[in-house]
Amino acid sequence: MATYQELLAQKQALEVQIEEARTTEVAGVVEQIRELMTRYGLSQEDVAPRRRRGRPASTASAATEKAPLPPKYMDPKTGKTWSGRGRTPAWLGKRPERFLIPQE
């Protein structure tokens, strides 16, 4: 049975052989890829298109635009309105029910 040190030496020798084999094979593969790209007139963009960041565009959400919400509150002094969503305007104060627009 081989000793621990002998096995480590074999492992290192195998790793060197693996790296050499990979290097020579990769060089051949790259040359094949270049040859095929030239033969078929392909560019890097054709082979590996750039990925865009963010969420993919959905056809349903892009086709239908959201309608603005009807106002729920109105400041009688300035005529400004608020739908009840988002940041609360300062003019609402502590009693927002005073500014409610009557719903029909």
Identity of residue 35: E
Q: pLDDT at position 60, please?
A: 61
Q: What is the CA radius of gyration of the chain?
A: 34
Angle at 54 between CA 49 and CA 58, to 5 degrees: 90
More confident residue, 63 or 13: 13
Burial of 72 (0-12, 13-18, 19+ CB in 10 A): middle
Q: Give pLDDT tens digits for 18-60.
A: 999 999 999 999 999 999 999 999 988 888 877 777 776 666 6
DSSP lists the bridge partners of residue 82 as 73
> Do the Cβ atoms of 86 and 75 come closer than 8 Å?
no
* pLDDT tens digits along 64-104: 678 888 999 999 899 999 998 989 999 988 888 888 988 76
